[in-house]
A and B are shown apart, each in its own frame.
Chain A
Amino acid sequence: MTGRIVHIASNTFREAVRDRVLYNLIAFALLMSGAAILVGQISIEIERLVVINLGLTAVSLFGTVIAIFIGIGLVSKEIERRTLYTVLSRPVRRWEFIVGKFFGLAGTLVVNAFFMAIGVFGALLYVSRHFQRADSWVLVALYFIILEFLIITALALLFSSFSSPLLSAVFAFALFVIGSFAEDLRGFAAMTHGLMRWLATGAAYLVPNFSALNVISSVAHQQAVSRELILYNTAYALIYATMALCGAVLIFEHRNLK
């Protein structure tokens, strides 16, 4: 069982690599080195602030775009092209296929983020000549970004298991944007009354809370991240991604292939 999941995951990774997904790293490297050189000439005080802010935001955005664009096709493309026929006629359970796909894409994103992280730290070293203790919080911010990828990947897979790639992309991007304002949404829900309050609160808690996962600007200001937040975010992301994945499996288990 686990063996088959690993094989499906590594094939998904191989597909992403052969589709030249990692080429985005070139764009990222250009962006980081451009920013580092530019910032280095402007000011000494805000250079770290800019590099961390810009670098981590780029890691998050690049990864999100990849997660959505690959994720939305993970299942529907295989149904459309009928490549699934010869996979599911083997001793592969449908849930194993979904879980394998999830880990394949998540692995791709982790590898991608790893190289980007090297880029961010390289730029940081270039502008400030040495690392500081507070820089270790950048690692926490990166960890949160990866948690965010897990949620987005699971959601994209969920949409991919029942709708077309185009619709899935729309859903996933909409949820990404709304989720980035989840805290505001919760605050807004608390201000309404009656039935509206129930509905708004329900919706606010249903969308993925990406604002809690975003500690980029506080890390850029050298603020620490509390241990509670790390634990909370870890549990939240794992539960959220698992639920979305379960939804994808439930839908896919009963789906007639074209």
Chain B
Amino acid sequence: MTAIEILGLEKTYSVGFWRKKPKCALKPLHLRVEEGEIFGFLGPNGAGKTTTLKLLMGLVFPTAGSARILGMEVDDPRMKAQIGFLPEQPYFYDYLTARELLNYYGQLSGVASKERAHKIDEVLQRVGLPEVGGVQLRKFSKGMLQRVGIAQAILHDPKLVFFDEPMSGLDPMGRREVRDLMEQLKQEGKTVFFSTHILSDAEALCDRVAIIHKGELRGVGAVADLTSSVHGKVEIVWQGTTVPSSLRALGAECHVTGDTVRAVLSEANQDSAIEALRRERLRLISVIPVRTSLEDYFVQKLQPSEAVAGVRS
């Protein structure tokens, strides 16, 4: 079943106080996310990720287009009882303690009062804050608030969660924990839709990703499919300090360190490069494929079109 269906969703803000100028934050976006997926919504800062999530949460209204979540309209309370949302850089009522906040949100989400205390304990444990439930949120650090944000998003056991930059503000351990948590959520049969500008976070985790830049969708698909279209690279290392000129002509990036040279070049030119080294009688040490990653795809997708053409030629 389809968890999220976005049909031509579009948002233009008008900015400026006096003479309002239109600012297109999201060009018509079409996207489907299936139930049970971890879906990564990737793009650099200002790409339109937060705007998309705010549109889906009904916090801002679209200029055009529509979306359905779990088969329902975006303002349907029955749907909202089944989703969780972590905003970007979340901020909460700072006069409440973490436990009071979660209790209030549990009430609003319709969690029965009998279950609430138990669920709050469980979720605080899960996000790694079991000891600070009674502390007022104004005393929380940024990373702790991020964890509270995750806790409130999963408190009511939603079917579908939306995380906006879930790893931001967390230390490396915290990032790891959040990654594990998202995997657990998938294991529990939930759908996870999250945005990030950090590719390595998405690469290991997502079933599928969408890449968005300047409000425009640049690609959707499984990580493996997307990266397979990117030309791979190899790293060739040999002994010596000389770089044959024919190698430079192949577009190799060469680095001389001590008495070895390391050259990185396109996979397609691998054979001619080795050929050139043989002709010069240089001693080959290694030929290793450089792992092609989402990053390469990303870089390629975000370059202006002429630069992409240059890479291809």
| Residue ranges of A at the interface with B (Cβ–Cβ < 8 Å) | 3-4, 7-8, 11, 14-15, 18-19, 81-93, 254, 256-257
With A82-B87, A254-B61 as known contacts, state yes or no: A87 contacts B95, CB within 8 Å.
no
Q: Which residue of B lies closest to A81 (CB)?
A: B91
A91 touches B93 (CB 8 A): no
**Shortest CB distance B108–A (Å):** 5
A89 in contact with B95 (CB, 8 Å): no
Q: Which residue of A lies closest to B87 (CB)?
A: A85
A90 and B108 contact, CB distance less than 8 A: yes
Interface residues of B in 40-55 (CB under 8 A from A): 54
| Nearest-Cβ distance from residue A6 to partner chain B, whole angstroms | 9
Interface residues of B in 97-126 (CB under 8 A from A): 104-105, 107-110
Q: How far is the CA of A257 from the CA of B108 in the complex (A)?
A: 20
Which residues of the other chain, A, contact B92 by a CB distance below 8 angstroms? 83, 86
- Interface residue tally on B, bucketed by range: 20 to 34
Shortest 6 CB-CB distances between A and B: which pairs?
Answer: A91-B77, A89-B85, A256-B60, A18-B95, A85-B87, A91-B80
- Distance A89 CA – B90 CA, assembled complex (angstroms): 13
Closest residue of A by beta carbon distance from B79: A91
Knowing A11-B93, A15-B95, A19-B95 touch, does A86 contact B107 (C-beta < 8 A)?
no
Contact of B77 among A14, A83, A93, A254 (CB under 8 A): A93
Q: Is B81 an interface residue (CB 8 A)?
A: yes
CB distance from B290 to the nearest CB of A (A): 41
Complex CA–CA separation, A157 to B96 (angstroms)? 23
Q: Could you list 5 A-B pairs, sorted by A, with CB under 8 Å?
A: A14-B96, A81-B91, A85-B87, A88-B59, A90-B105
Check B107–A7 contact: CB distance below 8 A: yes
Q: Mark B60-82, 1 if CB is under 8 A from A, else 0.
A: 11000000000000000110110
What's the Cα separation between A85 and B84 when bound, in Å?
11
Other-chain residue from A7, A19, A85, A92 in contact with B59 (beta carbon distance below 8 A): A85
Contact A256 B57 (CB under 8 A): no
- Is B152 an interface position by the 8 A CB rule? yes
Among B13, B57, B90, B107, contact of A88 (Cβ-Cβ < 8 Å): B57
With CB as the reference atom, state the residue of chain A lying closest to B80.
A91
Question: A86 to B90, alpha carbons, bound, how many Å?
Answer: 9
Write the B144-170 contact mask toward A (1 if CB under 8 angstroms, else 0): 000001001100000000100000000
Q: How far is the CB of B12 from chain A (nearest CB, A)?
A: 11
The interface residues of chain B lying within 8 Å CB-to-CB of A89 are 57-59, 80, 83-85, 162
Q: Are the C-beta atoms of A4 and B59 separated by less than 8 Å?
A: no
Q: With the chains together, A190 CA to B58 CA distance in Å?
A: 48
The reply to whether A7 and B60 form a contact with Cβ atoms under 8 Å apart is no
Q: Which listed residue, A7, A14, A18, A254, touches B108 by the CB 8 Å rule?
A: A7
Residue in A11, A18, A84 with the greatest tally of chain B CB atoms within 10 Å: A11
B104-A7 in contact (CB<8A): yes
Across the interface, which residues of B come within 8 angstroms of A18, CB to CB? 95
Within 146-205 of B, Cβ neighbours of A (below 8 Å) are at: 149, 152-153, 162
Q: Which residue of chain B is the closest to A8 with respect to CB atoms?
A: B108
Give A181 Cβ to nearest chain B Cβ, in Å. Answer: 34
Contacts of A84 in B (CB 8 A): 59
Residues on A with beta carbons closer than 8 Å to the beta carbon of B91: 81-83
Give chain A residues whose Cβ lies under 8 Å from the Cβ of B61.
254, 256
Give the complex CA separation of A7 and B83 in angstroms.
20
Please give, as numbers and ranges, the residues of chain B lying within 8 Å of A15 by CB-CB distance: 93, 95
Additional 14 contacts, C-beta under 8 A, given A14-B96, A85-B85, A91-B109: A4-B107, A4-B108, A7-B104, A8-B108, A15-B95, A82-B87, A83-B92, A86-B85, A88-B59, A89-B85, A90-B108, A93-B77, A254-B61, A257-B59
Q: Name the B residues within 8 Å of A82 (CB-CB).
A: 87, 90-91
- Nearest chain B CB to A104's CB is how many angstroms away? 12
Whether the pair A90, B109 counts as a contact (CB closer than 8 A) is: yes
CA distance A15 to B137 in the complex (A): 13
